[in-house]
């Protein structure tokens, strides 16, 4: 059985989020998703998420392509999370290309960057609605 792992904030859940999770699950038989803590999201994006960690984790955890969700507290702890879940493959969108290759020698986990779904993003949704 191949075990997968991916990470993200998944705030204001949208089609691009669904597609990365579905495509990741096609590459593995079991999928854990690290949901950024509110604090980690603030440090990455300079704003608080619209939905709380608990709400974002409930939404992602309800998807049939997701087997487990957990809180990601720090980007630097990726190798620790990979080991905790015995992940064989780490998948991220290609906005992160190369950024997590450092886990490969530490974990022997395969790392794959998938193309982002064009156009849609949480930031674009917020800006569009703000008007
Ligand atoms: N993602 C994707 N396609 C999109 C948007 C996001 O494949 N159109 C992927 C990202 O590459 C990442 C995961 O979904 O692997 C979670 O991304 P996240 O940062 O939570 O979503 P964004 O919409 O990119 O958020 P923001 O606009 O706030 O940066």
Whose Cα sits closest to atom 9 in ligand 1? Answer: 93
Domains of the chain with bracketed CATH:
3-130 (3.40.50.620)
pTM of the model: 0.97
Instruction: Report how far ligand 1's centroid is from the alpha carbon of 26 (Å).
Output: 18
Q: What is the pLDDT at residue 42? A: 96
Q: Give the list of residues 6+ apart from residue 32 with CB closer than 8 angstroms, or none.
A: 3, 4, 5, 6, 67, 68, 69, 70, 81, 85, 87
Rounded Cα–Cα distance for residues 61 and 66 (Å): 6
- The Å distance, Cα 7 to ligand 1 centre, comes to 10
The length of the chain in residues reads 131
The tens digit of pLDDT for each residue in 47-56 reads 999 999 999 9
The confidence score (pLDDT) of residue 131 equals 87
SS3 13: coil
Written as tens digits, the pLDDT of the chain (131 aa) is 999 999 999 999 999 999 999 999 999 999 999 999 999 999 999 999 999 999 999 999 999 999 999 999 999 999 999 999 999 999 999 999 999 999 999 999 999 999 999 999 999 999 999 98
Phi, psi of 36 (to 5 degrees): -55, 135
The pairing of beta strand 30-36 with beta strand 68-72: parallel
Tell me which residues have their CB closer than 6 angstroms to ligand 1. Answer: 8-10, 16-17, 20, 45, 92-93, 95, 116-117, 120-123
């Amino acid at each position: 059985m191949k075990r997968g792992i991916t990470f993200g904030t998944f705030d204001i859940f949208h089609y691009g989020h669904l597609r990365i999770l579905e495509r990741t699950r096609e590459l593995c038989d079991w999928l854990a998703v690290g949901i950024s803590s509110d604090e980690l999201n603030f440090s990455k994006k300079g704003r608080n998420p619209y939905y709380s960690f608990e709400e974002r984790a409930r939404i992602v955890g309800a998807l049939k392509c997701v087997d487990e969700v957990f809180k990601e507290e720090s980007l630097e702890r990726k190798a620790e999370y990979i080991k905790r879940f015995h992940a064989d493959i780490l998948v991220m969108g290609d906005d992160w290309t190369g950024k997590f290759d450092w886990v490969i020698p530490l974990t022997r986990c395969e790392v794959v960057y998938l193309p982002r779904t064009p156009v849609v993003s949480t930031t674009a949704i917020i800006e569009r609605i703000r008007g």
